[in-house]
Amino acid sequence: MHDRDGKIWIDGELVEWRDAKVHVLSHTLHYGCGAFEGVRAYNTAGGTAIFRLREHTERLFNSAKILRMKIPYSFEQVCEAQKEVVRVNKLESCYLRPLTWIGSEKLGVSPKGNTIHLMVAAWPWGAYLGEEGLKRGIRVKTSSYTRHHVNITMTQAKAVSNYSNSILANMEATEDGYDEALLLDASGFVSEGAGENVFIVKNNVLYTPDLSAGALNGITRNTIFAICQDLGLKLVEKRITRDEVYIADEAFFTGTAAEVTPIRELDRIEIGIGSRGPVTEKIQSAFFDIVNGRNPKYAEWLTKV
Ligand code: PMP
């Protein structure tokens, strides 16, 4: 990953990819207090465009606020940095990774007195859970790891440190031969995937866990809410149990990286027809129309680079 041609935006400068380095005594590297985003740009008919750039940037600023970090750039500068990185690397469609971290001036737990930094990188990244996964659905395992409790770490921050939980869950599931993990909250209710929100479909109604289950407030999740409204599908945010997922007609994950990925199996129990269901397919197709600029209603969600 580190050895590529291209440019990475760091603190206002475009740096050669190979020279984009931080010091080993960076505070965030030791204690995990940092925040990031995952954003995608799509190759639309009108040119390359970043999907919901302002919402992702807003979440980055909110994550930093929750972590008591002050990003030393304006909202507009951070939006512009993301557009610039896609442009200068001549990317048609890509994944973008903005990250804000605490510098290396001092290393006590208190970060006070340290500088705050920001970088934006971008690179081509296809289907996160595989092209086949998008079509046929993936196999998921309920994790033995619990999703963060809302007052142990801050679950509405896309915080660097939150991802050790996601890594453990994903490693456990994939080492057991599954594609991804489903995490339950501290009370045993369904929360989310290691890097995705989750939805189920029962009798043509969609259900997704409300955010008190500790799931990240996903921007794709929010996009699905809009799609449901457009398609006249009822959607309910509520507590969901793992056995409700077993007996659902359909289930799917959503995320910037995962997009809309059907779940065909949970804990070796087949969900519905054991493949991508008709409601998921409709939602997936509406989602790809929106992100690829084929639905004029959502043109404002696409920022040309
Ligand atoms: N939950 C977690 C833990 C995630 O990492 C992600 C990916 N950012 C999501 C949910 C989905 O969020 P979004 O749709 O905004 O990418």
Q: In this predicted model, what pLDDT tens digit does every residue of 240-268 receive, in sequence order? A: 999 999 999 999 999 999 999 999 999 99
Per-residue pLDDT at 225: 98
Do 85 and 160 sit in the same domain of this protein? no
Tell me: do 139 and 287 sit in the same domain.
yes
Tokens 């990774």 belong to residue: 97
Residue where one domain finishes, among candidates 106, 123, 140? 123
Residue 287 domain boundaries: 131-291
Q: Which tokens in the block code for residue 81?
A: 């940095």
Whole-angstrom distance, CA of residue 303 vs CA of residue 177: 39
Look at the chain and report how many structural domains it folds into: 2
> Is there an atom of ligand 1 within 6 Å of 219 CB?
yes
Residue 204 and residue 142 share a domain:
yes
* 118 and 135 housed in the same domain: no
Exactly one of 70, 135, 158, 234 is catalytic; name it: 158
Q: How far is the CA of 217 from the centre of ligand 1 (A)?
A: 7
Q: Are residues 199 and 67 in the same domain?
A: no
**CA 123 to the chain's CA centroid:** 16
Q: Same structural domain for residues 275 and 142?
A: yes
User: Is 201 in the same domain as 138?
Assistant: yes
State whether 139 and 62 are in the same domain.
no
Domain-terminating residue out of 96, 123, 150: 123
Q: Residue 290's pLDDT is what? A: 98
**Whether residue 143 is found in the same domain as residue 268:** yes
Q: Are residues 160 and 37 in the same domain?
A: no
Q: What is the CATH classification number for the domain harbouring 80?
A: 3.30.470.10
d(CA 169, CA 185): 13
Q: With respect to residue 263, please indicate whether it lies within any of the assigned structural domains.
A: yes
Same domain, 189 and 220: yes
Which residues of the chain have a pLDDT value below 50? none
Task: Give me the interface pTM, i.e. the ipTM.
Answer: 0.99
Q: What is the pTM of this model?
A: 0.97
pLDDT of residue 121: 98
Asked if 210 and 275 sit in the same domain, the reply is yes
126-157 burial code (b ≥16 CB/10 A, e <16): eebbeeebbeebbbbbbbebbbbeeeebbbeb
Q: Whose CA is nearest to atom 12 of ligand 1?
A: 218
Among the candidates 88, 123, 158, a domain finishes at 123
Question: What CATH number is given to the structural domain containing 250?
Answer: 3.20.10.10
Determine the residue of 128, 158, 225 to mutate for testing ligand 1's pocket, defined as the one with the most ligand atoms within 8 A of the Cβ atom. Answer: 158
Q: Which amino acid is at 121?
A: A
Indicate if 158 belongs to the active site.
yes
